[in-house]
Chain A
Amino acid sequence: MKKGLQVLLSASLIIGLLAGCGSGAQTAPASSSAGGSSTASAGTKTIRIAAVDPQVPLDMQQNTYSIIMRLTDNVAESLISSQKDGSLAPLLLDQMPTLFEDKLTYSFTLKSVKFHDGTTLASSDVKYSLERLVKEEKMASLMAYVAGYDAMESGKATELSGIKVVDDTHFTITLSKPYSPFLSVLSTPYAAIYPKAACEAAGDTWGLKTLIGTGPFKLDSYTAGSGAEFSKFSDYHGGAPKIDKISYKFIEDPNTQVLEYQKGNVDFVDLDNSLYPVYSSNAALKDQIHSFQQAGGYYFNFNVKTIKDPKVREAISLAIDRKSICDSVLHGTASVPTSFIPASLTGHDSSAQAFAYDPAKAKSLLASAGYASGYNLRVTVNTKSNLGKSIATAFQQEAKAAGINVTVEPVDSAAWSDMKKNGGMDCSVSNWYVDYNDPDSMLYPVSDNRADLVSSFWHNAQFKQLMEDGVKTDDSAARQKIYVQAENILTRQDFAIAPLINETKFYLLNPKVTGFEINSDNRMDFSKADIG
């Protein structure tokens, strides 16, 4: 009796737990009911999104996290928008700006556009917003080529002298030197245009309690740790949106996010790469998985002060079995890069071969560099990046074949940032995605003519000159040649970095939602979205 009861209780416990374990991947989604309820219950069309809590003000001028961009993209707009194919189009402008013959001054004409508070967009708002970008400091150097930037940054001036308001709808921006990506820069979320009066009145509450823009949706509420609510802006200059509300629910755990999607409580979730194999084999969910390629990828960033010999850096690059990492760590969802500059950007070398895996050659290079008995390499990873940790761990095994002994050093975000700046890393698993669709945005983190060059400490005079030449000209053919050459120096001559993988990003979307897009800048557009 005693044993019988014990066995019965134990068995029921184990069966219960196993039932719980096994149900996750195979449970059919309840999204049909969810989609229906979100559309019809209160007569309003609401799209519900699971997202990570940004924890900070919803203002891309203060914080650069892409999770904030996802929230603010449909509230605040920039003068220019980048299209799915990477081209630029006027958004708050009548037409694309005119560049004067001096190649320095752009002339702008604003469309008749209303802010959410009912005020009309004016040139003074543009001047205020772009100057605020400098004052907020985080992404100030995006305005580095605008005349008067140095004076403002050093505190000698309170305005950017290069921005001149002509009247309420006309203004000019003069650069201090030619900078062909400038219009692309104006398409970034950092260059969002805010109403001056409302933004100044809100002070520190901007992005927390108040966020006013010209976008298709208005911020109704933002509750830290809980979520954010947006409602449609009926006076939107691009036509009133079809959906009434966007509701963000902050859920930290990627697993919980997907469970909420399966239950039908949200219509959109990002699908972590680690979860992709589970859900791509789920018959009920696999057709609801969508993907996109963000321009950028993962790479090894070498500190050339500690890994001085290019032969060693080349050997490390040759010791990476990128294909294996794509297949094992990323379950075949990533691709081996042929170039650091992605295919969608000018400067991508379509004739380049994929970065090779050749441990024998790596070993021989290390021997010629004086490391015949093996090389000890410390690879630092940010604990925030699960993928970074997995890549480093996979490489730790692969590198043994080339005689490289890898120590993986996980550090948290704060230490990561500090170590990068102070040269505390020898080699790190980094990732980079463009802020604007231009090769300049891809290469500037490794260019030492920018203030933020900190983690690689690499200098190559020819590369630097090419980077300067590349932004001076707007001739596409010339730029293509310049950036192909620059990248070749970076990745195949000096081996300052070693590209690793180009990942594919996945998300689950309720099939009832239509007209929704994520472009290669990772920007979500709900202006044309609808729920069937």
Chain B
Amino acid sequence: MVSYISKRIVQTAVVLLGISLVTFLLLQVVPGDPVSLMLDRRADPATIASVRHQLGLDVSLPQQYLNFVNGVIHMDLGNSYFTKEPVLFALNRAFHVTLKLASLSFVFAVVIGISCGMIAALYRGKALDSSLMTLSIVGVSAPSFWIAIILQIIFGLKLNLLPISGFDTPAAYILPSIALGTRYAGSIARITRTSMLDVIKQDYIRTARAKGAKRKAVIIHHAMKNAMIPIITLVGTELGNMLTGSMLIEKVFSIPGIGKLAVDSMSNRDLPLLEGTVMYIALVFVAVNLLVDISYAFIDPRIRYGKGAA
């Protein structure tokens, strides 16, 4: 296991290096010069040249990239062109907000999704199953910003129960977490139902029941555990998505998270901030996938990593 994790960490470093290179190259191709944008409408060539020099944009592209990689190695992603704030500070601030939102949405999505999926599977073909699956389709297909607006109007304005926007009090966490988590809850419910139905049909479940095990115990100890692999794969990916921010939800609820930071840095061509945000997003996805892969071994003893693994 240790050698497997070590190998994955090395792979992670290579992936991040590749992503940073691709991001850097793409930013050279897309139109939009950050200096022109910074200087706005009254910039003359001499001023542009002077600012390019200050920002280190007047050296060759390979040198610029090497400077960036060198900064990353030394934990220095540079400063934002516009706010002058160190990129790590901005990422750290946005990460804390996104982590809070993602955690709550994740808990909401997992609890609601898995519960609904299991209930639907256990009541397969019944009204409850159809109703829950209808709701899950609504959850998956309704745009999250639309759900957000509906929640704002009903619970924020009409019933006056919860804050309409912001993310500074526990009450303010509720609506954005539900709005963001609804879609994921829908897809988790559907995969849980399918996976549970596959497992419930297996011989060992029938055997357990035939041996007199109680239905509840069979579901919890046998069916659920064996149905978890596809669910965890999906949940892991979705956790990655949540941790990398949701631009729309963050915009509607005015939450200063990673999604907003990424979009703002892109539209400003704030290169250090954009590179930092992309690296963060890549790191989160790679880390979450690694955790998901490792978790398989704990859930299913047949899965082994390292030497001699099948």
A interface residues with partner B (beta carbon < 8 Å): 1-6, 9-10, 13, 16-17, 19-21, 23-24, 27, 30, 53, 55-57, 63-64, 137-142, 153-155, 204, 208, 224-226, 249-253, 255-256, 259-260, 262-263, 265, 384, 411-419, 421, 424, 445, 450-452
Question: Could you say which of A10, A57, A155, A226 contacts B134, with CB atoms under 8 Å apart?
Answer: A10
Asked if residues B251 and A252 are in contact (CB atoms below 8 Å), the reply is: yes
* Contact across chains for B83 and A417 when beta carbons are under 8 A apart: no
The verdict on B103 contacting chain A, using a C-beta distance below 8 Å, is: no
Residues on B with C-beta less than 8 A from A64 are 40-41
B31 touches which one: A27, A225, A411, A451 (CB < 8 A)? A411
Cross-chain contact of B131 among A5, A226, A249, A445 (Cβ < 8 A) = A5
Q: Are B82 and A56 in contact, CB atoms less than 8 angstroms apart?
A: yes
CB <8 Å contact, A414 and B256 = no
Q: Which of B32, B38, B90, B134 contacts A412 (CB 8 A)?
A: B32
A413 surroundings in chain B (CB, below 8 A): 32, 37, 267-268
A30 to B253, CA, bound (A): 20
Complex CA gap A255/B146 in Å reads 12
Q: Point out which of B41, B82, B156, B168 has the most chain A C-beta atoms below 10 A from its C-beta.
A: B41
Q: Does B130 contact A (CB under 8 A)?
A: yes
Question: How far apart sit A421 and B253, CA to CA, in the bound complex (Å)?
Answer: 35
Closest B residue to A65 using CB positions: B40
Q: Which B98-153 residues have C-beta < 8 A from chain A?
A: 126-128, 130-131, 134-135, 138, 149-153
Query: What's the nearest-Cβ distance from chain B to residue A29, in Å?
Result: 10
A3 closest partner in B (C-beta): B127
Q: Is there a chain A Cβ closer than 8 Å to B241's Cβ?
A: no
What is the distance, in angstroms, from B175's C-beta to the closest C-beta of chain A? Answer: 11
Min distance, Cβ B24 to any Cβ of chain A, angstroms? 16
A interface footprint on B19-46 (CB within 8 Å = 1, 0 otherwise) = 0000000000011111011111111101
Q: Are B149 and A249 interface neighbours, CB within 8 A?
A: no
Q: A204-B84, A262-B157, A451-B42 are in contact. Are A252 and B36 (CB under 8 A)?
A: no
Partner of B47, one of A21, A153, A208, A414: A153
Bound complex: CA A63 to CA B77 (Å): 23
Q: Which residue of B lies closest to A451 (CB)?
A: B44
Q: Find out whether the CB atom of A154 lies under 8 angstroms from the CB atom of B134.
A: no
A/B interface sample: 25 pairs, CB < 8 A? A4-B127, A6-B127, A6-B134, A10-B134, A17-B150, A27-B153, A27-B158, A53-B254, A64-B40, A137-B43, A137-B51, A139-B42, A141-B42, A141-B44, A224-B90, A249-B166, A250-B254, A252-B251, A252-B254, A263-B157, A413-B32, A415-B30, A419-B31, A445-B41, A452-B42
In the complex, A226 Cα to B255 Cα: how many Å?
A: 8
Given contacts A55-B264, A225-B94, A414-B30, list 19 more A-B pairs with CB under 8 A.
Answer: A2-B126, A5-B128, A5-B131, A6-B134, A13-B135, A13-B138, A21-B153, A27-B158, A30-B160, A64-B41, A138-B42, A153-B46, A225-B254, A252-B252, A413-B37, A415-B30, A415-B31, A415-B32, A452-B41
Contacts of B40 in A (CB 8 A): 64, 138-139, 417
Q: Across the interface, name the chain A residue whose C-beta is closest to B134.
A: A10
Which of A21, A141, A208, A263 has the largest number of chain B CB atoms within 10 A?
A263
Question: Would B37 and A225 count as touching, CB distance under 8 A?
Answer: no
B293: min CB distance to chain A, Å: 34
Q: In the assembled complex, how far is the CB of residue A185 from the closest CB belonging to chain B, in whole angstroms?
A: 12
Answer yes or no: B165 CB below 8 A from chain A CBs: yes
B254 touches A224 (CB 8 A): no
Question: B252: shortest Cβ distance to chain A, in Å?
Answer: 5
Rounded to whole angstroms, the CA-CA distance of A63 and B40 in the bound complex is 9
In whole angstroms, how far apart are the Cα atoms of A413 and B38 in the complex? 11
Q: Mark B63-96, 1 if CB is under 8 A from A, else 0.
A: 0000000000000000000111100001001100
- B contact residues, total (Cβ < 8 Å): 61
Tell me whether B267 and A255 are in contact (CB under 8 A).
no
**Binary A-proximity of B188-209 (CB < 8 A = 1, otherwise 0):** 0000000000000000000000
Quick check: is B154 within 8 A (CB to CB) of the other chain? yes
- Asked if B183 is an interface residue, CB under 8 A from chain A, the answer is no
B135, A414: Cβ atoms closer than 8 Å? no
B164 at the interface (CB under 8 A from A): yes
Alpha-carbon separation in the docked complex, A250 to B254 (Å): 7
Query: What separation, in Å, do the CA atoms of A53 and B93 have in the docked complex?
Result: 15
Nearest CB on B from A59, distance (A): 11
* A412 with B127, Cβ < 8 A, contacts A21-B150, A57-B84, A208-B83 known: no
Residues of B within 8 A of A451 (CB): 42-44
A30 CB contacts on chain B under 8 angstroms: 160
Q: Which residues of A contact B94 (CB under 8 A)?
A: 225
From B149, B250, B254, name the one whose CB has the most chain A CB atoms within 10 angstroms.
B254
A452 pairs with B33, CB closer than 8 A: no
Q: CB-CB < 8 A to A140: which residues of B?
A: 42, 47
A360 to chain B, nearest CB (A): 37
Contact: A224 with B138, CB < 8 Å?
no
Query: B266 at the A/B interface (Cβ < 8 Å)?
Result: yes
| A224: contacting residue among B250, B251, B256, CB under 8 A | B256
Contact of A24 among B36, B126, B153 (CB under 8 A): B153
> A155 vs B46: C-alpha distance in the bound complex, in angstroms?
10
Question: Across the interface, do A6 and B251 meet the contact criterion of CB distance under 8 Å?
Answer: no
Q: Is the CB of B266 within 8 A of A412?
A: yes
Beta-carbon contact of B251 and A1 below 8 Å: no
CB contacts (< 8 Å) of B97 on chain A: these are 225
Partner of A417, one of B32, B250, B260: B32
Question: How far is it, in angstroms, between the C-alpha of A64 and the C-alpha of B43 when the chains are bound?
Answer: 13
Whether the pair B36, A421 counts as a contact (CB closer than 8 A) is yes
CA distance A96 to B110 in the complex (A): 68
State the CA gap A27–B158 with chains docked (Å): 7
Interface residues of B in 217-263 (CB under 8 A from A): 250-256, 260
Bound-state CA distance A57–B158 (Å) is 37
Evaluate contact between A2 and B127: CB separation under 8 angstroms: yes
User: Are A418 and B31 CB-contacts (below 8 A) given A2-B126, A17-B150, A224-B256?
Assistant: yes
Instruction: Decide: A20 and B150 in contact? CB cutoff 8 A.
Output: yes
A528 to B268 Cα, complex, angstroms:
36
Using Cβ atoms and an 8 Å threshold, which residues of chain A touch B44? 141, 451-452
CB < 8 Å neighbour of A23 from B31, B131, B135, B154: B154
Which of B131, B160, B168 gathers most chain A CB within 10 Å? Answer: B131
Closest to B27 in A: A414
Residues from chain A with Cβ under 8 Å of B253 in the complex? 256
Closest A residue to B253 by CB, please name it.
A256
Q: How far is the CA of A91 from the CA of B157 in the complex (A)?
A: 43
Whether A23 touches B32, Cβ cut-off 8 Å, given contacts A1-B127, A253-B254, A417-B37, is: no
